[in-house]
Amino acid sequence: MKECIFCKISNGEIQGEKIYENDNFFSIPDANPIAEGHSLIISKRHFATTLELPNTIGAELLDCIKSTSLILMKKYGSNGFNITNNNFKSAGQVVSHVHFHILPRKEGDNKRGIYLG
């Protein structure tokens, strides 16, 4: 997708500070974080929503989520995290390229029920 911002990052047209990557996914800090350490897990190939992801790359998605979360928890001294994924405009998806939000959490941070949309 020529105009997709995440495809441009994946292809190296736009530089992004990668936190972690494997063959099919990478993670970067969110450009507009709603909490300290807010980061994104993004597929390297263009898929509009989670429904388009091939089942065969599910293990790599989980690897990227787990590895990124552990890195962020250590870096920000958090003791938990949230994973959020919006699919389609009606659910708050802004960029039509599948991605997952990771939010490091700390006890008492008062960020329960964060809505990303």
Q: Which residues are catalytic?
A: 99
State the Cα–Cα distance between residues 44 and 28, nearest whole angstrom. Answer: 12
User: What are the tokens at 16?
Assistant: 């992004």
Tokens of 23: 């063959």
Report CA-CA distances (Å) from 109 to 50, 52, 81, 115, 117: 29, 34, 11, 15, 20
Q: Pull the structure tokens for residue 13.
A: 């047209």
* Number of alpha carbons in the 13 Å side-chain half-sphere of residue 110: 0
| Residue corresponding to tokens 């870096």 | 75
Q: Does residue 104 sit in helix, strand or coil?
A: strand
